[in-house]
């Protein structure tokens, strides 16, 4: 897979689906994301994006999670 097909999670719009390809955060944040089920090859969907506080609500593995914009920008995905 070439890098030009990858975007960060924050680039997706509400109701768009993608697959996680990589996490570019450091070891501790990447481990925390993995503990929440955010790992490569996992389908993910944007549920809601807030305008003012910059959080992103995602659906992954049947659960809804709220991510801050800074950590969400470290999640590389491919749209499906």
Name the token pair of 52.
């003012």
Name the token pair of 17.
């689906």
Stated pTM of the model: 0.88
Residue span of the structural domain in which 73 resides: 3-79
For residue 59, give every residue at least 6 positions away whose Cβ sits within 8 Å of its Cβ, in sequence order, or none: 44, 45, 47, 65
Residue 21 is part of a domain; what is its CATH number? 2.30.30.90
Residue-level pLDDT, tens digit, the chain, 80 residues: 555 689 999 999 999 999 999 999 899 999 999 999 999 999 999 999 988 888 999 999 999 999 999 999 999 999 99
Q: How many domains does the chain have?
A: 1
């Amino acid at each position: 897979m070439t890098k030009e097909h990858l975007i960060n999670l924050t680039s997706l719009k509400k109701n768009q689906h993608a697959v996680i390809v990589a996490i570019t955060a450091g070891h501790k944040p990447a481990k925390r994301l993995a503990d929440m089920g955010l790992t490569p090859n996992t389908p993910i969907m944007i549920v809601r994006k807030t305008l003012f506080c910059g959080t992103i609500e995602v659906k992954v593995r049947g659960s809804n999670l709220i991510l801050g914009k800074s950590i969400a920008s470290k999640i590389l995905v491919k749209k499906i």
